[in-house]
Structure formats: structure tokens, C-alpha cells
Amino acid sequence: MLEACRQVGMPKGLPSARQAYLEACNKPSPKATQDWSHAAVYLAARDCGWHLLANEIERKALPLFSDCYRNYCDRVLGGEELIIELPKELPETSGKKASRSENLKQLKKLQQLVD
């Protein structure tokens, strides 16, 4: 009953907890760059854990996700604007190539690990 009351007062674009769960489970990686129905879905899934959502059965994962999602929904109802922050890009790698002797030295190290 409480969940039904929550849904009536939800702003447009916020899906139900189960719809949000299914969306979170089905989005491909990289997650932050996907088109989400609402930032609350992404943030709840991130906090809940991508690994958990991908590897646990719905009976176990949905209640955990729903708790996270409900917290974000409450924040939205309180007037907070949620934002998905894109991860920082990795720095460019050095354009300097290793010398032949350095490559051979590294190869010998790898061979010793196998032996």
C-alpha cells in the first residue's frame, strides 16, 4: 500500500522499483553513458552494485535494489536534482616505444614466470 502511495506522488519519468530494476539489469556497459529513464535508476544500481545485479537472482537482488532506489526517489521528492557524473577519462599513454632490448628483457621475465 505504501508503495502504491509513493507511485502516485512520483514525478514523471521515475519508473516503479521493478521497472527500474529491470532497466538497470539490462543496460549494457559502460553504464554511465547509457540513456537512463531517470538518474535515480542509475545511481541506485551503482550503489547497489553492478556485480550483484548481474549475478544474483531477482528474488535476492530486487529487495536490495529497491531500498537504494527508494532512497533516491525520496531525495527527488524532496526537490534534489540527481546527476550522473561521467567517469574521468584515462590519461593518454606515452607515445614512446620500448627498445628491442627492453622488450627482450620483459619477455625473459614472462618466460621465467611460466617455468
Counting beta carbons within 10 angstroms of the beta carbon of residue 47, is it exposed (0 to 12), middle (13 to 18) or buried (19 or more)?
A: middle
Mean pLDDT of 87-111: 84
Give the pLDDT band of residue 9 (cuts 50, 70, 90): low
Q: What is the mean pLDDT of the chain?
A: 89
Residue 90 has what pLDDT? 76
Handedness of CA 71, 82, 76, 12 (dihedral sign): negative
Residue extents of the structural domains in the chain? 2-77
